[in-house]
Structure 1
Amino acid sequence: MTAPPRIAVIGGGPAGLMCARVLQGHGFQPVVYDADAAVDARDPGGTLDLHADSGQIALEDAGLMAAFRTLARVEGQAKSRRDHHGTVLNEFVPAEGDEAAPEIDRGLLRTMLYEHLEPGTVRWGHKLLAATPVGGAVHRLEFANGAHAEADLVIGADGAWSAVRRVLTDAVPQYLGVQFFDARFDDVDTRHPEVAAIVGEGHMFSTDGAGRAVIVQRNSNGVVRGYVAFRAELDWHVAAGVDVTDREAVRSHLLKEFGEWSAIMRPLLTENDGDYVQRSFWALPAPLTWDHVPGLTLIGDAAHLMAPFGGHGTNLALLDGAELAHAIAKEDSLDDAVARYEAAMFPRSGQLAGSSNTALTRFFATTSPDAPHLPPDHAQEHEDYRTRAAEYRRLRAERDR
């Protein structure tokens, strides 16, 4: 590359910020555009685990493992499984020194990445409307606030409903048939000791084998996030006559829907602080590929939105960002860099997206209630992360010689 390329990253989530961080480490000056007004302008969601074979590799590449460890919760790797009567079916406590998948709040991760970028890298309040080719591989970017820019490479890191993806493929997210209410419990150990006892140090999953589940997760600062999930049509609340903005109406509905759940589990449904937030699960077709378009590519959810089972989404997003940045630094042209990145990303994300979507469907199945709900072997899962991390590093070292 004989001149510094103009690189525009659309989206200031983990994928986009990681890509920008690693690009800056290679001497590039990307610009990140994000629709949010600021890094903390909205609720970023709950906690996530960063895997040794993906998210942690990206953090190492970005020089951010030390910063991550000051925020992460190793104890948050603990997991338990209960039936809907509260009986413990399975427990996992990480061994001493096990750091295969520590937890970190989504908001803390995003802020950490943002604070390690050069000042002025992110342009907040820039919602992309269109990316239009203007010759060669250059695209003109038009934003909702009236701003515009041109870029030699546009990296779509703009999530599930990506505007950049529309230029590359007609694929759109499909509803997976599962709704959930996101709730939170504040100062949980003092104000909600019964919830604290159930969730423990990490996660608790519970299902009744009839398409209903409750998942609660420890976050930082004494907060637990809870997810009350069930199979339903998108407009279920209309047919049920439930105003989803009315906390008491939602509680009443959940008590009826989860009527067979025991008194031990009921506080997870009804004792939350604040309102319920209605959400739903969506995924892109998997595997998803597209024909190459000069000057454009996708990372993160824009490329491979998937069900959250397995926790692969953000981990792949971070790895996408780092790998694309490395490819840009190593290849002779942006086109070659994108080709190198996509050749690795397509099969990796396709396999994990397919397995994650299948796992969610099976978990919420209303038939064959036994086998689909068996918990994974988390100790083996952690060992697999470490094994794959070593193999990834070995292959990358061979490739980069």
Structure 2
Amino acid sequence: MSTPSIAIIGAGVAGLTLASVLRVHGIRSTIFELDSSVRSRDQGGMLDLHSISGQAALREAGLYSKFQQYVRHDAQEMRAMDKHGAIYIHIKSEDNTDERPEIDRGDLRQLLVDAVDKDAIKWGTRVHEIKPSNEDANKYTVVYNGGHEATFDLVVGADGAWSRVRPLLSSEKPEYSSICFVELRISDAENRYPELFETVGRGSGFIVSDGLMLAVQSNADKTVRIYAVIPIEESKFSESNAILAKPEEARRYILDHFADWDDKIKEIILRSDDKFISRPIYELPVGIEWKSTPGLTLIGDAAHLMSPCAGEGANMAMWDGKELGLAIAGAVKSGEPLSEAVANFEQSMYKMSRPMAERSMSNRKMITSKMPSAELAAIWREQFIQDSLPREK
């Protein structure tokens, strides 16, 4: 078949991975992205890239050696504690394997952006509509920036939770999980609060009790990023956001949830900077599928939005990008119809993503179930052991 025209909606890790794999195979793509630049907004904390998904995607895109320049080996430390500070799991960096090395999200996005053609990304572009082409029933037209139009053989929705492409394929919508991650930060924590930094460690920490959690991580710039995981009713988002906009009120609001936790742990909240960000957690139903439709598909959060409670979302997004890129390249080489290649990819994605979404939902429910910390830690320890075993790359 001739080389197809590919539109990717969204320059997150899913869309960028797809574009970088396509480029390796000599296939250009056009990426529509609302952000004005790669660093125009904070990309979040760090994540661990798994050998069978995130790392495999970087290998396929020819980026694995460059990835090694960003790997944070000292950040592979992990602790799980209860509200009294009792440590149930402590995995040191030197005890870790290469199965799940850490990288800051901003560095990962920059690495992927640098791997695509300079003119491939239409930064600062708002997509208004994706509609069937007037000329070909198997093509779709992207309407952007106030009326500009471009038609493509395949439009890939890599545009996250509230995808504009998904409604063309499925009636499923993200559902609120009942919990909110309130993000806090402590800048230059290692120098300003060395004792607190010692409590947190150089990697990730999960402090869980009473159906609540403080998730903490040390980023490359010495910032400690904190996520206070608390229940907030969806109907009260406006009220809670008004509180979080006022630092002192926000700090009291969060501390009220952790009132009987150890003072050393509450210091993490007390010492935070005066910026609080509400991140309500939404999920798509586990096992979401759709009727394969020529000219359209979904990857990443647009396809299988899951909570961050298993660390699988970004890895699955990159796996999706890799596999779809290989499917398209294979169709171009073999002459297989593009629609068949995409349909086969979708079936593989359903099979791969479902257990990841199930684990994410299961972990989220355990965190909020008031399960004793020791029991939860035992489950997490077993998960860590299984995840650290060498896998086929």
TM-score range, shorter chain: over 0.9
Q: Which moved more, 1:372-381 or 1:331-340?
A: 372-381
**What residue is the counterpart of 1:251 in the other structure?**
251
Root-mean-square deviation (Å): 1.9
How far apart, CA to CA, are the structure 1 residues paired with 2:150 and 2:349?
Answer: 28
Task: Kindly provide the amino acid, as one letter, of the partner of residue 57 in structure 1.
Answer: A
1:302-351 CA deviation, whole Å, 9 max, x = no partner? 10000112211100101110110101111222112201211210111112
Counterparts of 1:67-216 in structure 2 under 5 Å?
67-95=66-94, 98-134=97-133, 135-208=136-209, 210-216=210-216
Q: Which moved more, 1:370-379 or 1:243-252?
A: 370-379
**What residue is the counterpart of 1:376 in the other structure?**
380
Query: Per-residue deviation at 1:291?
Result: 0.3
Q: Find out whether 1:365 has 2:364 as its counterpart.
A: no
> When the two structures are aligned, how many residues end up with a matched partner?
386
Q: In structure 1, the residue corresponding to 2:250 is in which secondary structure?
A: helix
Query: Per-residue deviation at 1:256?
Result: 2.0
**What residue is the counterpart of 1:229 in the other structure?**
229
**What residue is the counterpart of 1:346 in the other structure?**
350
Query: Per-residue deviation at 1:109?
Result: 0.6
Task: Kindly provide the amino acid, as one letter, of the partner of residue 129 in structure 1.
Answer: H
Contact 2:89 2:377 in 1 (8 A): no
Query: Per-residue deviation at 1:195?
Result: 2.7
Tell me the percent identity.
34
Q: In structure 2, the residue corresponding to 1:350 is in which secondary structure?
A: helix
Gaps of 5+ in 1: 394-401
**What residue is the counterpart of 1:59 in the other structure?**
58
**What residue is the counterpart of 2:329 in the other structure?**
329
Task: Kindly provide the amino acid, as one letter, of the partner of residue 308 in structure 1.
Answer: P
Seen in structure 2, the aligned counterparts of structure 1 residues 241 and 102 have a Cα distance that, compared at 3 Å, is closer
Task: Kindly provide the amino acid, as one letter, of the partner of residue 280 in structure 2.
Answer: S
Q: In structure 2, the residue corresponding to 1:266 is in which secondary structure?
A: helix
How far apart, CA to CA, are the structure 2 residues paired with 1:382 and 1:36?
Answer: 34
Q: In structure 1, the residue corresponding to 2:313 is in which secondary structure?
A: helix
Seen in structure 2, the aligned counterparts of structure 1 residues 326 and 238 have a Cα distance that, compared at 3 Å, is closer
Contact 1:237 1:244 in 2 (8 A): no
Task: Kindly provide the amino acid, as one letter, of the partner of residue 339 in structure 2.
Answer: D
Seen in structure 2, the aligned counterparts of structure 1 residues 37 and 189 have a Cα distance that, compared at 3 Å, is same
How far apart, CA to CA, are the structure 1 residues paired with 2:164 and 2:123?
Answer: 17
TM-score in terms of structure 2 length:
0.94
Task: Kindly provide the amino acid, as one letter, of the partner of residue 288 in structure 2.
Answer: L
How far apart, CA to CA, are the structure 2 residues paired with 1:258 and 1:311?
Answer: 24
TM-score in terms of structure 1 length:
0.92
Counterparts of 1:250-289 in structure 2 under 5 Å?
250-289=250-289
Query: Per-residue deviation at 1:240?
Result: 7.4
How far apart, CA to CA, are the structure 2 residues paired with 1:43 and 1:239?
Answer: 24
Query: Per-residue deviation at 1:381?
Result: 3.1
Query: Per-residue deviation at 1:59?
Result: 0.4
